[in-house]
Chain A
Amino acid sequence: MNSRDQILAAVKANQPELTLLPQLDSFFQGQETALIEKFTQVLTGIGGKVTVVADTTEIISLLKANYSLDQIRVISPLSTMQEIAINAIDNRHPHELQNVELAILPAHFAVAENGACWLSEAMLLDRVLPFITQHLILIVNKIDILPTMHHAYEKIGNEHYGYGTFIAGPSKTADIEQSLVLGAHGARSLWVFLI
């Protein structure tokens, strides 16, 4: 018997009698209040920054005010960001993204309870982009803030992505004596714009 069959046979022989899965319905109840405030409070608490803007023009001017955009490499798949970012990259060579300073990416939605934003492969340009960039900008529609992770997975449903990720704040570590340091291996900062 090969290892696969051996393991499966042992599992079958040793697993207990079937028990039922729990209902998750109750977790959807009573959660929908002040989502923008909640999201902002939580994400700020974990080191992210949140700004509510009227439109993409406002985002561009805020970014211009905060970064020397003409001196750094800025990448974004969004056509609205064309003025300040390039959207063409060579997917065969993700390593070449190592000098990206700013990545501006759209998130499908955000989650109020934990400050997370959901991104999936189709909108990333490259899987490594949100990690390898020094600073990450995410853009989410205000109306796409969901209360909890239950709502989040309800929304994701059975979408067929190759890769997707929740990002909640900048990369961080507290491995040295529990002192929080932002910018471990991924982006050093995260700025979320709510439109």
Chain B
Amino acid sequence: MKILDHAERADIFNEDEKRVDWHDETLWWIRQKRDKSAHQIPEWENLRNAASAIKSNTLSNLHDYLLEFEKNALKNGIIIHWAVDAKEHNEIVHRLLKEKGINKMVKSKSMLTEECHLNEYLEQNGIEVIDSDLGERIVQLAKEPPSHIVLPCIHKKKEEIGELFHEHLGTPKGNADPQTLTEAARVHLRDTFLTRRAALTGVNFAVAETGEIVICTNEGNADMGAHLADIHIACMGIEKIIPKREHLSVFLRLLARSATGQPITTYSSHFAKPRDGKELHIILVDNGRTRQLGREEFRNSLKCIRCGACMNTCPVYRRSGGHSYHNAISGPIGAILAPNLDMKQYADLPFASTLCGSCSNVCPVKIDIHDQLYKWRQVLVKEGYATTAKEIAMKTMATTLSSPTLYKIAGKAARTTLKYAPLIINNKFNAWYLQREMPKVPKSSFGEWYKINRKNNE
């Protein structure tokens, strides 16, 4: 089966223009809330600089910080596991559950487990997983992946959610009131929290100095799950480490403001020790991160704190939808993380951008996202992942543009036939014209005009 690329998926998303408008407006509203919140903090840009510098230091000393974290966490009674890839991560989770004879688990938001496709894996092994974040639960019921890292069901209309809840949770048919639906989910998931012996959560920050992890939610679902379970499994990429506890101040000031414009998430919970008689496991996952660490140009993508701001601001994301990125992490950051996992499969993503740069400006850890998109394009082309037609077109263009004579001939031909514009690739020659008029054709080029009107300069 051919995997649809970003442009093809965007075409599908755009079949309903009203819906695109709604999606765009909703996310733009969140971007505006972010702006308002950020603009209330005079030291905002300094905070971003500090966050970025802390993350630079972390990456430059990650080896020692990981050891320090491990040492302190062990001292606190936490059990540490290491997974080189998604497969090993999934197997560890499965083994932990099996050892305890557990076949039902509640899970709060963790993009890492999406990246590892943990749910599918566990289900194949007979373990039921219930996502407890409301948005994640909604997409889970709809059998879809999340379309946004912070707002998993941002692409769904309340009427569709009402339908889903009617079908699965027995809410009245036709009821699409967010208050009612949320209440129904609260009741349904409370029951889940109270009956699950295992809870899996993600990790927002892991502090090397103290061996503690910090998990941020608005709903309180991570805490509800973790505190009521016999075993709490927390999964994190190795880049989630920060050196010191005091650094949390910088990140917690930035995270929620960047994500939704809130001053802080409702809950920022610090887990330093398991509760009496219970177990706390942390799985440290590589899955390509050490490779990305070694790529100088793309290393900074590991600074990401998963706030989602780059998605909310991205004019392409807002109009193509999260699923168009066909990757667990969508949007601009997804487009620079995904090719590291699989260049061939995600070769389209770095091209799904106008390189407008808004993402880099909102990013709380100042990742040079749009520059990395540009650099990925160069790498992907060199590695042979550009389509042949595009390649030929580009070579023709390169030859033409580096030769003044050829250029003049080509230009003349273009103006008379309108079949050549330097911006248009061969294989989709008419794509400009589908919904746009071509520029009007002038009598002569500027070069020709100049020759006649500024003779003495020649």
Residues of A within 8 A of B (CB): 2-4, 6-8, 10-22, 24, 26-27, 42, 46, 91-92, 94-95, 98, 111, 113-116, 126-128, 131-132, 148-150, 152-154, 156, 158, 160-179, 181, 183-187
**Which among B161, B252, B276, B277 has the greatest number of chain A C-beta atoms within 10 A?**
B252
- Give the shortest distance, in Å, between B226 (CB) and chain A (any CB): 8
* Known interface pairs A177-B178, A181-B179; A167-B266 also in contact (CB < 8 Å): yes
* Interchain Cβ contacts under 8 Å between A and B, 12 examples: A10-B294, A16-B59, A20-B57, A153-B246, A165-B270, A171-B219, A172-B218, A176-B158, A176-B178, A179-B178, A184-B221, A186-B267
Chain-A contact segment, one of B62-70, B346-354, B378-386, B424-432: B62-70
* Known interface pairs A163-B269, A175-B153; A8-B227 also in contact (CB < 8 Å): no
Across the interface, name the chain A residue whose C-beta is closest to B263.
A114
Chain-A contact segment, one of B180-188, B327-335, B366-374, B402-410: B180-188
- Give the shortest distance, in Å, between A113 (CB) and chain B (any CB): 6
Distance between Cα atoms of A154 and B134 in the complex (Å): 34
Distance between Cα atoms of A181 and B455 in the complex (Å): 72
Distance between Cα atoms of A63 and B260 in the complex (Å): 33
Q: Of the candidates B133, B264, B275, which one forms a contact with A166 in the assembled complex, judged by CB atoms under 8 Å apart?
A: B264
Is A166 within 8 A of B54, CB to CB? no
Q: Of the candidates A42, A116, A184, which one forms a contact with B186 in the assembled complex, judged by CB atoms under 8 Å apart?
A: A184
Residues of B within 8 A of A164 (CB): 269-270, 272
Whether B102 sits at the interface, judged by CB under 8 Å, is no
Is A165 within 8 A of B224, CB to CB? no
* Known interface pairs A91-B276, A128-B227, A173-B219; A161-B57 also in contact (CB < 8 Å): no
Q: How many residues of B contact A (CB 8 A)?
A: 92
Across the interface, name the chain B residue whose C-beta is closest to A96.
B194
Docked complex: B162-201 residues within 8 A CB-CB of A: 178-179, 181-183, 185-186, 189-190, 193-194
A-B contact count (CB 8 A): 248
Across the interface, name the chain A residue whose C-beta is closest to B70.
A4
Whether B304 sits at the interface, judged by CB under 8 Å, is no
- Give the shortest distance, in Å, between B244 (CB) and chain A (any CB): 8
Is B134 within 8 A of A176, CB to CB? yes
Is B246 within 8 A of A154, CB to CB? yes
Across the interface, name the chain B residue whose C-beta is closest to A7.
B286
Is B158 within 8 A of A177, CB to CB? yes
Is B220 within 8 A of A185, CB to CB? yes
- Give the shortest distance, in Å, between A45 (CB) and chain B (any CB): 8
Is B238 within 8 A of A163, CB to CB? no
Whether B132 sits at the interface, judged by CB under 8 Å, is yes
Is A158 within 8 A of B268, CB to CB? no
Residues of A within 8 A of B223 (CB): 127-128, 131, 165, 186
Is B227 within 8 A of A168, CB to CB? no
- 15 extra A-B contacts, CB within 8 A, seeds A10-B293, A175-B152: A3-B88, A7-B66, A14-B291, A15-B61, A26-B43, A94-B227, A113-B263, A115-B264, A127-B227, A131-B227, A132-B224, A153-B249, A166-B264, A171-B220, A185-B220
- Give the shortest distance, in Å, between A126 (CB) and chain B (any CB): 7
